[in-house]
Amino acid sequence: MAPRIGVVTFPGSLDDHDALRAVGLCGAEPVSLWHGSDSVAGVDAVILPGGFSYGDYLRCGAIAAFAPVMTEVIAAAEAGMPVLGICNGFQVLCEAQLLPGALIRNERQTFVCRDQRLRVASVDTAWTSALTLGQEITLVLKNGEGRYVADADTLDRLEGEGRVVFRYLDNPNGSLSDIAGVCNRRGNVVGLMPHPEHNVEALTSPSLDGRALFESVLDFLTARV
Amino acid sequence: MADTVKNAARTLDQPQPWAELGLKEDEYLRIRDILGRRPTAAELAMYSVMWSEHCSYKSSKVHLRKFGELTQETPVGKMLAGIGENAGVIDVGQGYAVTFKVESHNHPSYVEPYQGAATGVGGIVRDILAMGARPVAVLDPLRFGPLDAPDTARVLPGVVAGVGGYGNCLGLPNVGGEVVFDPSYAGNPLVNALCVGVLRHEDLHLAKATGAGNLVILYGAATGGDGIGGVSVLASETFDAASDGSASGLGGPAKRPSVQVGDPFMEKLLIECTLEIFAARIVSGIQDLGGAGLSCATSELASAGDGGMHVNLDQVPLRDSTLSPEEILMSESQERMMAVVEPEHVEQFLRICAKWDVLATVIGEVTDGDRLTIDWHGETVVDVPPRTVAHDGPVYQRPYARPARQDRIQADGVDVLPRPVGGEELAATVLRLVASPNLCDKSWVTDQYDRYVRGNSVLAQPEDAGMLRIDPDTGLGVAVSTDGNGRFAYLDPYAGAQLSLAEAYRNVAVSGAQPVAITDCLNFGSPEDPDVMWQFSETVEGLVGGCRELGIPVTGGNVSFYNQTGETAILPTPVVGVLGVIDDVSHRTSVGFRRAGEEVFLLGDTRDELAGSVWADVVHAHLGGRPPVLDLDHERRLAELLVRGAGRGLFSSAHDLADGGLIQALVEASLRHGVGVRVDLGVADPFVALFSESTGRVVVSLPADRVPELIELAEAARVPVRRLGVTGDDVLEVEGQFTLPLSEIRAAWQAPIPAAMAAAGH
């Protein structure tokens, strides 16, 4: 049986459809999860999708981090379940303190949508094992608040523990150390600003590089079973 | 103390602020005639906004009727809803229908660029939603004053951030549009917005209130004091920068902005909530609240139904409890919808709204009889025949006449203008033109829009048309392009309208889709100026004639008058949106050269046509003469060729020739993927060959072994075809004239907008 991957829809989530489609295209069973009620009991992994949850009012991801479903997502993540936060989902993971650091307004102060080149900086995670260390990939990037910041100690720790997962080539937003994505210590929780779910179909994507993230988690889940 | 119907009947001679509300004296007298008494303050508010130019189309109606004489079928199916509905709906096959419409939000965007543009997007999206459709994409044709004008540095970044801020937050890909600069738009930018929606045939919903006893539900945002008089004060009068406060004349709290404030998060909830309500099949009529707010929704729903309507205004949730009944009726607070629901479905309706955290309130019911009555604090403040508010507004036969200057304009041709001679001058002209505001790279703007969300954007700007997949299993899709050329329209409004139509039509065909229908946004100066009215009348005639010849209907659109600064009107600017259908989006063609060593051909004839061209503008600041000659039968045959070729996978690329002529098309096709081209112009005058803006032309590239197929298709379609050269290398070479490195062209092409914005601190 194909692993079941849940995608949470918060009010204001936008790329939930895309994430569900990508999950299905890559061979897992997509499961739609509602922020207010659904449990993560029936799924093997969870994706927090892009968008503007709760309008990004207060702070990006700040309200979503307290949505009822997040209590279970946090518990499951701490127990080792793979969790991927994409864009707004990354912001939610930071607000929920599953990942360190924060995402603030882009250096140029405008929303940026572009095909972004990245360097893979870690393959020791549940979501990147199918990539090669140092590999250059292209993923769609689109956000207004994608500039990764953290204090110096946190940055040192992330670097020291190999927890920077993706770095920008041609840094688009002023992120510290060109960081585009990071993971938790265990490597099961990954957050990144670019959108792998928008890079799974030749017809609508600048690349197919996003597939590797979904294939990685499938490998991870299959190996575990 | 509200002005009640009873009170109005007792105080017939009480003076009323009809002039401040934008009404003319004869209009006010007609209202008194209809009611047999003076209107209450609330009634006067309703009539004033609904009889405004923006809502009633009083100056344009007699002309727009001609669109109704056109075919009501498209080349691929029926029109399921047409002009007069919130948006036109056409059958695109496989049980799907598509709705699309373009609207303007020009004046608000000048006053408050961010919110004006944002709520322009929000308004058109709700129109599409109200038809029963899921909105799937937006396109934004934008026009500004000169790129280096100080006010452009205020207006442009705000408008672009507003379009992006709202559309991105709704999760709607922005797949096309235009960015055009001209001095005539300096005090009056044009912010048009087009939205496309998709629905199944059985999901079509209409705006009507039927069935006595059915309940009227207002849902979405609470009503505030924003946007009061937006349609009447802002959109329907000659405009000056001083009118940036409220002119409601109603004695409400002073200086409320007439520009609405948008909340895209609320609109996103409204979309998902409304689609879930549609899916549950519990709505008998629905209408969005846009211009004229509750006045419009109540009177239009009641007028289109089979009875009357009663509304209790006390039930309307307010953001500001001090609002008067007339302000509540005129408010253009955003993100609101009104539904008519049978009593047994109300509970389910409210439950779905609660799931999405959307406020929903029963505010009235459909009644027997034919009156729209509205109560406030237990007394009747409105008692009117709804049709007189919604549909029986004044109709004007505005005088129009061909301006005396028109002959002079057309006689002032380009023959006297010095032209570049020799390779060096031609190359310098190329670099100058690609770095001009209207031909340069627009990604500073379009990179602020999400073009990927929902995962169905097969083509997006800078492609000639945006293309969206509708059905992932069959590959059915639609393409949309918007085009307008105010300079050509100024030289000859009839021809200009047709040229814009033809360009949008061609852009859709270039992508591989069959053009099937149009929507239009007609942006003009004051209808009270006979010169402007002549431009308008000619434009409508041109569009009607053009659509008739191409065999496609007008599905709806919008008229925006009073676009002028003082006495100076903008260039007449009809923006035409053409929708196309493609059976399988995997057959789409894109504009860029794909690989080296492919054959490049030009379809269509080139004549010495440079009047109104970008070259005349940039090099000589000249606007005179006659625009290019158009042959619509050729356009139709050319489109057939392109669609047929795309279906066979014949083309590696196809790019429409328009502003800037052949050279600009070659530049864009080369820069897209960094694949250059070497062309041989033969015996043609190289300047004319490169810079003429003759219409009906397309550059295609294809593998050498498929050239015979192209020749065969072109002969069958009777379309002139000529070999230009071959793709390859990182240069653009015109044999015997010049060779320019792509890097040099790219640097010139990319620089202008970022430089201008950086200079202004953006």
How would you class B333 by CB atoms within 10 Å of its CB: exposed for 0-12, middle for 13-18, buried for 19 or more? buried
Q: Identify which of A202, A143, A207, A135 has the alpha carbon closest to the alpha carbon of residue A165.
A: A135
Of B264, B266, B458, the CB nearest to A204: B458
Cα–Cα distance measured from residue B363 to residue B34, given in angstroms and rounded to the nearest whole number: 26
Identified catalytic residue from B105, B587, B622, B634? B105
The verdict on whether A201 is a catalytic residue reads no
Question: ipTM higher than 0.90?
Answer: yes
CA B41, B43, B44, B49 dihedral sign is positive
SS3 of residue B362 by DSSP: strand
Token code pair at residue B24: 């003319």
For residues B540 and B548, is the Cβ–Cβ distance under 8 A?
A: no
**Cα–Cα distance for residue pair B52/B531, rounded to 1 Å:** 21
Q: Give the pLDDT of residue B62.
A: 95
Q: How far apart are CA A126 and CA A218, in angstroms?
A: 9
- CB of B159 closer than 8 Å to CB of B109: yes
Number of folded domains that form chain A: 1
The minimum CA-CA distance between A17 and chain B, rounded to whole Å, is: 6
| Chain B residues within 8 A of A194 when measuring between CB atoms | none
With CB atoms and an 8 Å threshold, state whether A203 touches B469. Answer: yes
Indicate the domain borders of chain B.
5-58+206-390, 422-432+590-759
H or E, element range at B80:
strand B77-81
Contacts of B450 in chain A (CB under 8 A): 111, 113, 142
By Cβ distance, the residue of A15, A56, A203 closest to B453 is A15
* CA–CA distance, B197 with B274 (Å, rounded to integer): 14
Interface test with B, best of A59, A111, A173 (most B CBs within 10 A): A111
CATH number of domain containing A213: 3.40.50.880
Structure tokens at A83: 């969790």
Residue range(s) defining the domain that contains residue A23: 4-224
More confident residue, A31 or B229: A31
Residue B521 Cα distances to B63, B196, B303, B497, angstroms: 14, 15, 25, 11
Average pLDDT over residues A77-95: 98
- How many CB atoms lie under 10 A from the CB of residue B66? 16
CA distance A158 to A173: 20
Q: How far is CA B667 from CA B201, B442, B726, B734, B746, in A?
A: 43, 14, 14, 12, 9
pLDDT digits (tens, 9 = 90+) for A189-199: 999 999 999 99
On whether the CB atoms of residues B302 and B369 are closer than 8 A, the answer is no
pLDDT digits (tens, 9 = 90+) for B534-556: 999 999 999 999 999 999 999 99
Instruction: Flag residues of chain B having pLDDT under 50.
Output: 239-256
In which residue are the tokens 């937003």 written? A173
d(CA B590, CA B77): 26
- What is the reported pLDDT for A77? 97
For residue B564, what are the β-bridge partners?
A: B569
Nearest Cα to B544, choosing from B484, B490, B611, B493? B493
The token duo for A120 is 């893979």
- A158 CA: distance to closest CA in chain B (Å): 31
Query: Residue B486 contacts by C-beta under 8 Å, 6 or more apart in sequence?
Result: B143, B180, B182, B184, B496, B570, B571, B572, B573
End-to-end CA distance of chain B: 49
Closest partner CB to A111 (pick from B269, B448, B469): B448
Task: Tell me if B105 sits within 8 A of B259, measured CB to CB.
Answer: no
What one-character DSSP code corresponds to residue B378? Answer: T
Report CA B324 to chain centroid distance, whole Å: 34
CA distance B577 to chain A (A): 23
C-alpha B219 chain-centroid distance? 26
What is the distance between the alpha carbons of residues B608 and B610, in angstroms, rounded to a whole number? 6
Q: How far, in Å, CA of B210 to CA of B386, rounded? A: 14
CB contact under 8 A, A204 and B456: yes
- Whether the CB of B722 is below 8 Å from some CB of chain A: the reply is no
Coil/strand/helix, residue B2: coil
Class of domain B5-58+206-390: alpha beta
At residue B209, the pLDDT reads 85
Find the CB nearest A111 among B168, B266, B457. B168
Residue B519 CA to residue A121 CA, distance in Å, equals 49
Q: Which residues contact B218 (CB under 8 A, 6 or more apart)?
A: B289, B294, B315, B316, B317, B336, B337, B338, B360, B361, B363
User: Residue B69 gets which letter from DSSP?
Assistant: G
In the sheet where B73-74 sits, what is the strand order?
Answer: B73-74, B77-81, B88-93, B96-104, B190-200, B134-144, B174-181
CATH numeric code, B422-432+590-759: 3.90.650.10
For B363, half-sphere exposure in the C-beta direction (CA atoms, 13 angstrom radius) is: 28
Q: Do A11 and B453 touch (CB under 8 A)?
A: no
| Measured CA distances, B389 to A30, B42, B286, B322, B428 (Å) | 51, 12, 18, 26, 60
Q: Residues A87, A94, A95, A198: which is the catalytic one?
A: A87
pLDDT in tens, B617-668: 999 999 999 999 999 999 999 999 999 999 999 999 999 999 999 999 999 9
Residue ranges in B629-719 assigned as alpha helix (H): 632-647, 661-673, 686-691, 707-717
Residues B76/B581, Cβ–Cβ less than 8 Å: yes
Beta bridge partners of A51: A13
Is A75 a residue whose pLDDT tops 50?
Answer: yes
Q: How many CB pairs under 8 A join A and B?
A: 83
CB < 8 Å to A142, chain B? 168, 450, 452-453
Can you spell out the DSSP letters for A45-113?
Answer: EEEE--B-GGGG-SSTTTTGGGSHHHHHHHHHHHTT--EEEETHHHHHHHHTTSS-SEEE--TTSS-EE
Residue B153 vs residues B57, B710, B753: alpha-carbon distances, Å = 33, 46, 10
Confirm if B512 and B641 have CB atoms less than 8 A apart: no
CB contact under 8 A, B469 and A110: no
**Cβ contact B500:B485 at 8 Å:** yes
Encoding tokens for residue B664?
């600009």
Instruction: Tell if the CB–CB gap between A21 and B455 is shorter than 8 Å.
Output: yes
Is there a catalytic annotation at residue A60?
no
Distance CA B659, CA A114 (A): 26
